[in-house]
Amino acid sequence: MLCQNCNKNEANMHMKRIINGHAAEVHLCSDCARSLGYGDAFSGVGLGFSDFFEDLFHKNELSASTVRCHGCNKSFEEIASDGEMGCAECYVTFFDKIQPLIHRLHGRATHIGKKPHSENSFSPDERLQQLKVALQSAVDNQDFELAVKLRDEINGLIAEGGAF
């Protein structure tokens, strides 16, 4: 893949940023990455996970916490330094400090997930809308046998109370 900045050299740096829930990928060669200020971001052997968390947590927040998790006895400072939660109880104990971090990293603090692409994964309202579009297409193409099947399926969805 070519560098998105110069379109000449092979891209060897691939960055993905999530801003307000939207992902954006950038593919740069090392020269363009350095000129755009990304050169020092990954200097040395690599970016340590603990360094990443220490940069995201403010130093003043780290020094103020003396609370320990009841499940694993880890402090917030220990979590920030090694970048790992000790147990599930850590999320509850340090919720007020972790939620802004999660929001900053992912653009939101709630998990939405992805929908599978199978036909059965749609809500009844979405499925009803699809069927109506398919019915109109069948009528336009004068495929009346298909139109009757689609009409019956639409009526079945409405009778189940799943869609109106």
pLDDT tens digits for range 41-55: 444 434 445 555 555
* Total Cβ atoms within 10 A of residue 146: 15
Model confidence at 14, pLDDT cuts 50, 70, 90, reads confident
* pLDDT single digits (tens) 114-163: 666 655 566 778 888 889 999 999 999 999 999 999 999 999 888 877 55
Say whether 8 sits in a helix, a strand or coil.
coil
86 contacts 79 by C-beta, under 8 angstroms? yes
Could you tell me the CA-to-CA distances from 143 to 134, 137, 146, 154 in Å, in that order? 11, 9, 6, 16
